[in-house]
Amino acid sequence: MALPTLPDTARGSIALYTGAVLLLFYFVTSLHRRWSQYRFAKEHGCKPIPAFPIYDPFFALDRLFFMVKAAKARKVLETNALRYTQLGDTFRAQRITTPVIMTREPQNVKTILSLKFHDYSLGDRLKVFGPLLGQGIFTSDGEDWSRSRHMIRPNFVKDQVAHLDIFEELMDDLFALIPTDGSTVDLQDLFFGYTIDSATEFLFGHNVRSLKKRRSGVVDNEPDFPKAFNYSLDNIVMNSRLGALMFLHRDSKAVEANRICHDMVGQFVDKAMRVREKYDEEKAAGETEEGRRYLFLNGLAQQTGDRTRIRDELMNVLLAGRDTTASLLSNMFFMLAKHPEVWAKLQEEVAFLEGRGPTYEELRNLKYVKFCLNESLRLHPVVPLNSRTAIKDTVLPVGGGADGRSPVFVPKGTIVGYSPWAMHRRKDYFGPDAEEFRPDRWADLRPGWEYLPFNGGPRICVGQQYALTEAAYVTTRLAQRYSVLEGRDPGPWEESLTLTLSSYNGTKVSLRH
């Protein structure tokens, strides 16, 4: 069949007509959307909020430039906190073309993370973290996330005491790497080694022995997992900074690093699958599981036979758990080294142990150790900034109007950023000395949502107890062993903002018996 040929003029007017209809359609739908949003906002009593001054209304490139400048000066968090003081506790801005609302209002944060949990998603986290992490507890949303969470969580409540054995074994490696002749050591570097060793032991039942390798100086032929993992993380940080411009950055070395990480974890998964088969046989033969050391990985393998799934979940938990605890210890020891009176009090508290490692019960009762951990997480929260993306039109309870007490309209697609860093420094909650490191303040602090180092609501950190136990254990053992902790860093603490927040200059100290 041949199409009837139209004269050119007729074809032209059809195209023009179609174009006009489409334009009209677009115009009417966006007008309708505007109208229903206006009504929705009005119904909820929403009022306008202060705006971050932006001079490039299209791509907000001036804001981007401003942020890059702050990053270079290692003052992203300080600059961001200052904005709240200038503009108010909730204000709006723009990221390239996406509307952004920033808040440090506990009530708003509670609304995003808990009360209206279902109105928000993680935004483009899966896109950024996917190449290394795949789909897992840390990267997924909705039903997928719910399934992951159910699978992961039970593995954290089992047998807390067993972890202490792992921590104690690794203390020998840590002690061996700390000189006591008055020379300077970077504890941050050692803490990162300690936590990758303990996390791989806890998760895979196989420790990558990074501290042991450093002790002996032995180089083996195994691909360097910590290095590859490190590289993959740097790539993620890069991509998350680029956001929508991520496609501009293709790094073949990152692809290789991801492969090394996947292979290494894959090996352990294979081993666990063999254990699973054996377990099924034993169960059939009427034997029990007792006496076998509990293993996170075996716990997962008993719940699913999907290897990729297990591998991805392990990667997710490793990412969430490694740098975080190491950063906490590094930040805290940086401050402890500047406060000898706090170090002395810690030593007093642990003296009753007479040099042996604490039991789980004893650890739980070390109040001053906890004050110090809480205070470090307050002043230098390891996850200092975070965000969610609205997946429907929704409302925040406060921040609108001249007094900031009216609700705020959040159109679908808006990124709502919140800042534990800025919230933890609010003088109205933590007092005029909120910027100072003073563990004793915890003697009578009982904060609500204004203190949020581990997040809150359904997605609260699953590793919180594990992390606090590990950090308290290491702190206790170090305080027992070294009477002097001396800072070798003349300057103040400065931010290093990657996936987690740590000290830019490391933790340079000298320790002596």
Ligand X SMILES: *[C@@H]1O[C@H](CO)[C@@H](O)[C@H](O)[C@H]1NC(C)=O
Bridge partner list, 390: 120
Of 105 and 489, which has the nearer Cβ to ligand X? 489
Residue 383 in contact with ligand HEM, rule: CB under 6 A = yes
One of 370, 388, 426, 477 touching ligand X (CB under 6 A) = 370
Helical (H) or strand (E) element with 486: strand 484-487
Site string for ligand X, 471-500 (x = CB under 6 A): ------------------xxx--x------
Q: In what order do the strands lie in the sheet with 508-512?
A: 185-186, 508-512, 484-487
The smaller minimum CB distance to ligand HEM, of residues 94 and 374, is found at 374
Number of residues interacting with ligand HEM: please give it, by CB under 6 A.
21
Interatomic CA distance for residues 425 and 434, integer angstroms? 5
φ/ψ of residue 342, rounded to 5: -75, -40
111 binds ligand HEM (CB under 6 A): no
Nearest to 357 by CA among 170, 156, 159, 157: 170
Closer CB to ligand X, residue 432 or residue 490? Answer: 490
Q: Binding to ligand X by residue 227, rule CB under 6 A?
A: yes
471 phi and psi angles, rounded to 5 deg: -65, -40
User: What's the closest the beta carbon of residue 374 comes to ligand X, in angstroms?
Assistant: 4
Q: 144 is in the binding site of which of ligand HEM, ligand X, none (Cβ under 5 to 8 A by kind)?
A: none
DSSP symbol at 103: E
Question: Smallest distance from the beta carbon of 223 to ligand X, in angstroms?
Answer: 13
Distance, CA of 416 to CA of 408 (rounded, Å)? 11
If contact means CB under 5 to 8 A according to the sort of partner, which of ligand X, ligand HEM, none does residue 386 touch?
A: ligand HEM
Among 191, 225, 451, 466, contact with ligand X (rule: CB under 6 A): 451
Q: How far is the CB of 446 from ligand X (least distance, A)?
A: 7
CB of 371 to ligand HEM, least distance (A): 15
The CB-of-499 to ligand HEM minimum distance in angstroms stands at 11
Contact with ligand X (CB under 6 A) among 32, 283, 292, 367: 367
H, E, C per residue of 150-203? HHHCHHHHCCHHHHHHHHHHHHHHHHHCCCCCCCCEEHHHHHHHHHHHHHHHHH
Strands 501-503 and 120-121: unpaired
Measured from the CB atom, is 226 or 401 closer to ligand HEM? 226
State the angle between helix axes of 340-350 and 464-481 in degrees (0 to 180), rounded to the nearest 10: 100
Specify the DSSP class assigned to residue 485: E
Using CA atoms, how far apart are residues 63 and 100, in angstroms rounded to an integer?
Answer: 12
Site string for ligand HEM, 313-342 (x = CB under 6 A): ----x--xx--xx--x--------------
Closest residue to bound ligand HEM by CB:
463
71 binds, among ligand X, ligand HEM, none (CB under 5 to 8 A by kind): none
Partner from ligand X, ligand HEM, none binding residue 508, C-beta < 5-8 Å depending on class:
ligand X
Residue 491 binding target from ligand X, ligand HEM, none, CB below 5 to 8 Å by type: ligand X
Q: How far is the CB of 280 from ligand HEM (least distance, A)?
A: 27
CA distance 86 to 80: 10
Smallest separation, CB 493 to ligand X (Å): 9
Does 230 participate in binding ligand X (rule CB under 6 A)? yes
Q: Which residue number has the CB closest to ligand X? A: 491
Amino acid at 126: L
Q: From the list ligand X, ligand HEM, none, which binds 328 (C-beta under 5 to 8 Å, kind-based)? A: ligand HEM
| Residue 493 contact, options ligand HEM, ligand X, none, Cβ 5-8 Å cut-off depending on partner type | none
Q: Does 333 bind ligand X (CB under 6 A)?
A: no
| 226 sits near ligand X (criterion: CB under 6 A) | yes
Q: Is 183 exposed, middle or buried (0-12, 13-18, 19+ CB in 10 A)?
A: exposed
Taking CB atoms within 8 Å and a gap of at least 24, the contacts of 483-486 are: 483/347, 483/512, 483/513, 484/510, 484/511, 484/512, 484/513, 485/333, 485/336, 485/337, 485/340, 485/343, 485/509, 485/510, 485/511, 486/337, 486/510, 486/511, 486/512
Give the interface segment with ligand X, choosing from 24-32, 280-288, 305-313, 368-376 (CB under 6 A): 368-376
Q: Per-residue string for binding with ligand HEM, 458-477, x by CB under 6 A?
A: -x-xxx--xx----------
Window contacting ligand HEM (CB under 6 A); options: 20-28, 244-252, 354-362, 380-388? 380-388
CA distance 385 to 67: 14
The Cα–Cα gap between 380 and 437 comes to 10
Q: What's the rounded Cα separation, in Å, for the pair 52 and 441?
A: 34
**What residue has token string 């007509």?**
17
Bridge partner residues of 186 (DSSP) = 508
Min. distance of Cβ 396 from ligand HEM in angstroms? Answer: 18
Provide the minimum distance between the beta carbon of 347 and ligand X in the complex, in angstroms, as a whole number: 18
Q: Among 503, 513, 231, which Cα is nearest to 382's?
A: 503
Which residue ranges make up the site for ligand HEM (CB under 6 A)?
A: 137-138, 149, 317, 320-321, 324-325, 328, 382-383, 386, 453-455, 459, 461-463, 466-467
Which residue ranges make up the site for ligand X (CB under 6 A)?
A: 226-227, 230, 234, 367, 370-371, 374, 442, 447, 451, 489-491, 494, 505, 508
